[in-house]
Amino acid sequence: MDLTLLWVLLPLVTVAWGQYGDYGYPYQQYHDYSDDGWVNLNRQGFSYQCPHGQVVVAVRSIFNKKEGSDRQWNYACMPTPQNLGEPTECWWEEINRAGMEWYQTCSNNGLVAGFQSRYFESVLDREWQFYCCRYSKRCPYSCWLTTEYPGHYGEEMDMVSYNYDYYMRGATTTFSAVERDRQWKFIMCRMTDYDCEFANV
């Protein structure tokens, strides 16, 4: 790297570190999110769970047409804020079948804290399950769908939740029988600061 460029960038890095380094910038606490930290090989099943008290905040994936039109996956987790409390229960949701479009949110007002998947050679696709955790009797509100990830079938996927007070509650996916790939829209919601009586919003 050119020394001049280093001297230009160093003050910017120092300012950014000063702003976020000691004040708990939410995305410095990612768990297992690196270029070489894939949780699966192509055509291989996997089960990924965030550490206790953390939820999924980022999803990364690369597509390989030569390896069964499959993807390798990587996830990042972040601890939930103290006002949300500890998870009171966690569970695996129902399976979303391979080769089909689907829409699913965590039942019982849960938040996504993991993914499980199995590859099927016959359809060149995966089935999926969410690992969900409920936080006391908190309820979701102000929910919205992200844009499509990846933007086009076969592209690299890199979804990061930059909204600290929004949590992943599920996803909707479309499946291309031609490309043998999926596009995802993640369901993001805020959670109440108080307990509510609704069992499943």
Cα of 45 vs its chain's centroid, Å = 17
Q: Determine if the pTM surpasses 0.85.
A: no
If we measure between CA atoms, which residue out of 154, 146, 150, 144 comes closest to residue 189? 144
Separation in Å, CA 85 to CA 26, 38, 51, 52, 192: 17, 30, 15, 12, 12
Domain residues for 141? 46-195
Answer yes or no: is pLDDT of 130 > 70.
Answer: yes
Interatomic CA distance for residues 193 and 201, integer angstroms: 15
Q: 179 lies in a domain?
A: yes
Give mean pLDDT, residues 153-164.
92
Interatomic CA distance for residues 70 and 26, integer angstroms: 31
Element spanning 10, H or E = helix 3-20
pLDDT (tens digit per residue) in 9-53: 433 333 333 333 332 333 334 444 444 689 999 999 999 999 999
> What does the radius of gyration of the chain's CA atoms come to, in whole angstroms?
18
**Residues with Cβ < 8 Å from 76, sequence gap 6 or more?**
30, 31, 32, 33, 56, 57, 58, 59, 60, 160
Answer yes or no: is pLDDT of 140 > 60.
Answer: yes
pLDDT (0 to 100) of residue 139 = 92
**Exposed/middle/buried for residue 106 (C-beta within 10 Å: 0-12, 13-18, 19+):** buried
Tell me how far apart the terminal alpha carbons of the chain are, to the nearest angstrom. Answer: 52
List the structure tokens of 119. 């590859």
Q: 67 lies in a domain?
A: yes
Q: 9 lies in a domain?
A: no
Q: 117 lies in a domain?
A: yes
pLDDT (0 to 100) of residue 3 = 38
Q: Output b/e per residue, 30-53; b: 16+ Cβ within 10 A.
A: bbebeeeebebebeeebebbbeeb
Q: 35 lies in a domain?
A: no
Q: 1 lies in a domain?
A: no
pLDDT (tens digit per residue) in 79-126: 999 889 899 999 999 999 999 999 999 999 999 999 999 999 999 999
Count how many domains the chain has: 1
Please state, for a pLDDT cut of 90, what percent of the chain lies above it. Answer: 72
Q: 178 lies in a domain?
A: yes
Confidence of residue 167 (pLDDT cuts 50, 70, 90): very high
Give mean pLDDT, residues 151-173.
94
* Dihedral of alpha carbons 164, 198, 116, 188, sign: negative
